[in-house]
């Protein structure tokens, strides 16, 4: 005959020894994207929309941003590299042969990746420190200036970069 007090004690012991599942929830942090705001060169306090913006990066065929009119973007940095180069094309469109006709600038962001352990279920995320940005000079740059306003990328709550055009 089973003794009920032992069964109840065993059941309570099992319930209290269980731990929370190691599953990543929506509130757990993830690797942040780089937040860029676009500003008017003539009025540095005013946001300025970029028309038909297309953003590409090496090794990825699908555009990160595809012909959007916007004054801000969120783009991913390469987690296991120390820099990421983007081709940013303003007034992007295809001609009759399917060739890009917009004005493109190559922008490179350099940084130091920093792994941060979240939990067994979530693993690691990457934050980026010591962020710098540069634009390749060409005969027809549409980007005038790149300003880093937050050199640590650890969340997406505020802009990290200002681009004046």
pLDDT at 1 over 80: no
pTM for the whole structure: 0.83
Give the model's confidence band at 135: pLDDT under 50 very low, under 70 low, under 90 confident, else very high. very high
Q: Are 124 and 113 in contact (CB under 8 A)?
A: no
Range 129-137 average pLDDT: 97
Concatenated DSSP letters of 97-162: TS-B-SEEEEEEEEEEEEEEEEETTTEEEEEEEEEEEEE---TT-S--EEEES-S-BS-SSS-SEE
- 158's CB contacts (< 8 A; 6+ apart) are 35, 150
d(CA 126, CA 79): 6
> Which residue, 162, 106, 164, is CA-closest to 137?
106
pLDDT given at position 18: 44
Cα-based torsion angle of the residue sequence 123, 24, 155, 108 in order, rounded to the nearest 10 degrees: 50
Range 82-101 average pLDDT: 93
pLDDT tens-digit profile of 26-71?
Answer: 777 899 999 999 999 999 999 999 999 999 998 888 999 999 999 9
Backbone angles phi, psi at 4, to 5 degrees: -60, -40
Q: Could you give the angle at the alpha carbon of 112 between the alpha carbons of 110 and 115, nearest 5°?
A: 140
CB count within 10 Å of CB 103 equals: 15
- 6's CB contacts (< 8 A; 6+ apart) are none
Residue 165 tokens, joined: 């055009």
Q: Which residue has the tokens 């004054």?
A: 71
């Amino acid at each position: 005959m089973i003794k009920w007090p032992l069964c109840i004690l065993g059941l309570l012991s099992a319930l209290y020894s269980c731990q929370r599942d190691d599953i990543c929830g929506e509130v757990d942090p993830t690797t942040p994207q780089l937040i860029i705001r676009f500003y008017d060169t003539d009025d540095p306090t005013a946001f300025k929309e970029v028309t038909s913006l297309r953003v590409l990066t090496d090794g990825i065929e699908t555009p990160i941003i595809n012909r959007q009119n916007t004054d801000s973007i969120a783009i991913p940095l390469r987690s296991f590299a120390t820099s990421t180069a983007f081709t940013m094309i303003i007034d992007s469109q295809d001609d009759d042969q399917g060739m890009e006709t917009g004005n493109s600038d190559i922008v490179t962001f350099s940084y130091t990746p920093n792994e941060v352990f979240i939990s067994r279920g979530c693993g690691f995320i990457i934050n980026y420190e010591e962020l710098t940005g540069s634009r390749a000079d060409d005969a027809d740059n549409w980007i005038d200036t790149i300003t880093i306003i937050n050199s640590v990328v650890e969340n997406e709550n505020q802009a990290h970069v200002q681009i004046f055009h």
